[in-house]
Amino acid sequence: MTVSNDNNTVISTKQMVFSHLFYEGRFAVPWHQRRYDWTKEHVRELLQDIDEAIKEKRKCYFLGAIILIEKGTKDWQINDGQQRMVTISLICACLSRLFYETNEQIYENNALRVLFDLDVNSTARLPDTDEHEPRLTPPRDDRTRYNLMIRGSSIGTNGKLTDAWLEIEQFVSGMGIEQSKRFMDFLLTKIEVACLHIPDEVDPNSVFETINCRGKQLEDLDLIRNYLYSYFNASEEKSRRDTVHDNLENVRTQLRTDIRAGEYARCYFQCKYGFLPKQSFYRKTREMIRSTTNPQNPADSIYDLVSEFSLKDRVELFNTIANPSATNTFVENFEKHSNSNRKKRNLSVFLQELKAYKVAQPMVFALLSRYVMESDAVKKRRLAKRVHADLNRITSFILRTAFVAPKFEPSHFESEFSNLAKRIMSAKDVYDVDVMSSLREFDGTYGVIDDDKFIEKMKVTEIRNTRDRRAKRFLLSVNHSLQSDGRLINEQHCSVEHILPKSEEHWSSWNNFDEYNLEDWVHRIGNLTLLGQEDNKPGKSDNGSFARKKEIFGRSAIKLTRELGYDDWSPEAIASRQKELAKLAAKGVWTF
């Protein structure tokens, strides 16, 4: 590829039509790149964008920057741009089939020139392509399917490449032959890219890292992954580097989204290394990896690290923590081992209550990871009981604090929680880590561990923001301790109801509040209750009196509401109920 470099810089750029980029040589996706992972939506958006540009008669359509590393006279590695180059190739492959079937030989040949190393005078047809070398070599796992696609063969039924192909095929089938020609002409002459040319002697990972740390952010796992790959560039490491690559890709696949995979990376590495600030997570993690790697055998250390990080059971554990379900097999097994499956407060409850507090994930993951990795059946049951007790303490501390603090600030606890997670994960025995003592240290000025102090602070707690979910979670927790059938009410299937109505238009008939500022009482926790999805909700006429609302509440599926034990409603009743709820929370729900 001829690259203009008038300034004598090591790294050069060239702007060019995308099809001409393909004509310049052969392009391989290096071993450490992820598989093709554009979704159908990504492909559809690209097709629609190009179609729109054609209809608007734009002079060009810019498809961004491509980072290429020179590996030979006409050989290049794609450091960034795989998804776009593969997708454009698939579009050309689909169009080449259409033009072959309709005997449009010139257009067929133009499409094949993008796909295969053919010269400008070539008259090759689609059935002849077995004799020619593809210009693009995708990742190992996508290679066979890609080669079948561009040569007009069967495409299989599964995978992101197949999804992309079907999306393109559907789009192309909706165009007539003349519209397809216009689309091909635009693709060949109007789609432009900027190529960043990096000589082979320059470390491409450092360039890639700099670009993505200064501009558009990649997920943390992508940056960490590329750093880990740098330990396996030697030719003798090919076998292990393929394993490392597969393991990291499997983490992404198992967690289904890049965001979830990034969250797992941060949780895992904080359990391993202690607190890692979010804003500098990648750099700090890289420093910790480097400092703990055996300098005599660095690749061995990294290989072991990736093996531990990508263990299927650990990854699935994080999935369970981030998206808890009462019917999860892992949860059921843990509850049997800990003898908590019949208790009001078991792992299902803990995970649901802590779901909104991501700051707790490292501690929860560290404790449950110790349980997951224990292979001895007797020790596993013993360990489950200890982990259950510690999870109860952690849940109680966090939920108590969330109610008495003016605002629960994760940043106040993140460092302490992460460092505690590290101690749990690295301890010889979980019994060596006193979680309760650590929580007492974290308590500081909040004073939530002492039951009496907590109850006193809860007496005046109110929640004014209607989008604040703490009230619902608190009432659900209390109700769960009362519900005799042990049924766990789904948070999504109930709503918070103000007993003294929230709207001022109903206040005039609530005579017990005549001498009070109703605004001081309507948002108190004691004035709140729950209604289930199938419960009748009080209408405007029902909000005129407590007697009418209590009649409706009496038919609720939620025990906390159904058995509201007051004959009348007043400031004294609200204060009494709030104290009662606080005691239930301290003594029967969020206990240590």
The rounded mean pLDDT for the chain is 88
pLDDT tens per residue, range 161-217: 999 999 999 999 999 999 999 999 999 999 999 988 888 766 656 555 555 544 444
Report CA-CA distances (Å) from 263 to 213, 222, 275, 281, 514: 18, 12, 14, 11, 52
Q: pLDDT above 70 covers what percent of the chain?
A: 94
- DSSP helix, strand, coil percent of the chain (3-state; round to 5): 60, 10, 30
Q: How remote is the C-alpha of 348 from its chain's centroid? A: 21
pTM (predicted TM-score): 0.70
Report CA-CA distances (Å) from 576 to 297, 511, 551, 589: 67, 18, 21, 18
Number of H helices, E strands in the chain: 25, 8
Answer yes or no: are the C-beta atoms of 475 and 560 closer than 8 Å: yes
Which tokens is 188 given?
């060949």
As a whole number of Å, the end-to-end CA separation of the chain is 68
Which tokens is 513 given?
């509040």
- Residues in Cβ contact with 268 at an 8 Å cutoff, skipping those fewer than 6 apart: 309, 314, 318, 365
| Residue environment code for 56-80, b if the CB has 16+ CB neighbours within 10 A, otherwise e | eeeeebebebbbbbbeeeeebbbbb
Confidence at residue 218, expressed as pLDDT on a 0 to 100 scale: 55
| Residue environment code for 198-227, b if the CB has 16+ CB neighbours within 10 A, otherwise e | beeeeebbebbbebbeeeeebbbbbbbbbb
Confidence at residue 272, expressed as pLDDT on a 0 to 100 scale: 97
Transcribe 531-563 into DSSP letters: EETTSPPP-TGGGG-HHHHHHHHTT-SSHHHHT
Transcribe 452-519 into DSSP letters: HHHHHHHTT-B---TT-THHHHHHHHHHHHH-TT-----GGGEEEEESS-SSGGGGGG-GGGTTS-GG
> Please, what is the Cα angle at 521 between 515 and 522, to 5 degrees?
120
pLDDT tens per residue, range 551-577: 999 999 899 999 898 999 999 999 999
Transcribe 385-398 into DSSP letters: HHHHHHHHHHHHHH
Nearest to 272 by CA among 379, 365, 383, 386: 365
Beta-ladder partners of 196 = 13, 67
Confidence at residue 488, expressed as pLDDT on a 0 to 100 scale: 60
Confidence at residue 216, expressed as pLDDT on a 0 to 100 scale: 41
Q: Where residue 311 falls among pLDDT bands split at 50, 70, 90?
A: very high
Nearest to 404 by CA among 357, 445, 356: 445
Give the residue-averaged pLDDT of 472-489. Answer: 77
Q: What is the DSSP letter of 590?
A: S
pLDDT tens per residue, range 520-530: 899 999 999 99
Q: Where residue 486 falls among pLDDT bands split at 50, 70, 90?
A: low
Give me the helices (H) in 293-360, please: 298-309, 312-322, 329-337, 347-354
Rounded Cα distance, 18 and 88, in Å: 9
Q: Flag the least confident range among 249-258, 272-281, 414-423, 481-490.
A: 481-490
Confidence at residue 215, expressed as pLDDT on a 0 to 100 scale: 40
Answer yes or no: are the C-beta atoms of 475 and 529 closer than 8 Å: yes
pLDDT tens per residue, range 410-459: 888 999 999 999 999 999 988 899 999 999 999 987 889 999 999 998 88
Beta-ladder partners of 136 = 27
Which tokens is 455 given?
């109850």
Answer yes or no: are the C-beta atoms of 403 and 474 closer than 8 Å: yes
Q: How remote is the C-alpha of 43 from its chain's centroid? A: 22
Q: How remote is the C-alpha of 301 from its chain's centroid? A: 27
Rounded Cα distance, 441 and 562, in Å: 40
Confidence at residue 203, expressed as pLDDT on a 0 to 100 scale: 63
Nearest to 300 by CA among 248, 245, 240, 246: 240
Rounded Cα distance, 185 and 443, in Å: 68
pLDDT at 103 over 90: yes
Q: Where residue 256 falls among pLDDT bands split at 50, 70, 90?
A: confident
Q: What 3-state DSSP class applies to 172?
A: helix
pLDDT tens per residue, range 114-145: 999 998 888 889 999 999 999 999 988 889 99
